[in-house]
Structure 1
């Protein structure tokens, strides 16, 4: 079954992110969905043709992680934003866990922003390690490199140039401000209880 691109047009009009920037970004995301489907179909056909041991199959298999993660990371990124943003509820277990692991919400935010301000392309991910029950802000250089094995992404910020250059040039700090103003911290009560209690 083919993956379908999700519609994130409800984000148009988000303060600090121009509609042109968002539309370009949506198009890029749709390309990841298209390429994920193409690679899945090609790999399946090659498998049926007995070409699983070929160098071509191997390289396409490696490429699949890039396209699939590009698709999924963008879905998380767009999915954790809303026009006007929604602040985190200080009564949630998520908020309490941030305070426990980082000392304060403000310290967590400084760290997340600091990771986002690092030079280079990539992603910033707030991960939850369900085994040890810890939160980490992590830099991912490429879609398919640097993920914390077994950890669940909670919040994603895209810091590839396409996410900010049209609006901010090389001044990433303005983009990070706009992102923070658009974060939707709505937390499902059942998930909050299950993960962080």
Structure 2
């Protein structure tokens, strides 16, 4: 129906918001474990991820500071995200607004920190930074490493050769 095209923009925006919210929350819950925390180490079977973090950020401490800052300084609602960027093959940190804004095309989220108020307000009130600090104690590096390996194994479909 020609008359229905006017609503398409709003519907597409809503689809992006809700679909991305579902995906990020699904990753978020799987990124956590009561046995998590610490740093990803080769001794724990996640050496390739640890090496990629060091190569992309210089050190685990630098990566941790960058992801923490991205999550803590999200204006309004959003996420701090460690993602695999397929063109460079490197890890990047993204600051995602709402659920879908400010994301590189083709990047794959590996580790996500929920920076929406509903994630932290009941326990941490307005101390988002304290919540983010606490998140590091439950990161399931095995899950993050599996996501990293899956992202790396995908074929480059963004810029296909002619």
Report the TM range for the smaller structure's normalisation.
0.7 to 0.9
Instruction: Encode CA deviations 1:140-193: one digit per residue, 9 max, x unaligned.
Output: 112121111011111111101111000001111221122111100003399279
CA distance in 2, matches of 1:53, 1:155: 38
Of 99, 123, 133, the match for 1:167? 123
Instruction: Give 1:90 shift.
Output: 2.2
Determine the structure 1 residue equivalent to 2:73. Answer: 118
Instruction: Output the TM-score relative to the length of structure 2.
Output: 0.80
CA shift in 2, pair 1:152/1:192, >3 Å? closer
CA distance in 1, matches of 2:28, 2:16: 17
CA distance in 1, matches of 2:8, 2:62: 46
Q: Which runs of 5+ in 1 are unaligned?
A: 1-49
Does residue 1:185 correspond to 2:141, yes or no? yes
Of 85, 95, 101, the match for 1:129? 85
Instruction: Encode CA deviations 1:110-150: one digit per residue, 9 max, x unaligned.
Output: 11111122152210011111111111111111212111101
Determine the structure 1 residue equivalent to 2:10. Answer: 59
Determine the structure 1 residue equivalent to 2:28. Answer: 77
CA distance in 2, matches of 1:153, 1:183: 14
Structure label with greater radius of gyration: 1
Query: When the two structures are aligned, how many residues end up with a matched partner?
Result: 146
Instruction: Output the TM-score relative to the length of structure 1.
Output: 0.67
Q: Secondary structure at the match of 2:141?
A: coil
Q: Secondary structure at the match of 1:97?
A: helix
Instruction: Give 1:89 shift.
Output: 3.8
CA distance in 2, matches of 1:193, 1:139: 19
Determine the structure 1 residue equivalent to 2:107. Answer: 151
CA shift in 2, pair 1:61/1:164, >3 Å? same
Determine the structure 2 residue equivalent to 1:16. Answer: none
Contact 1:87 1:184 in 2 (8 A): no
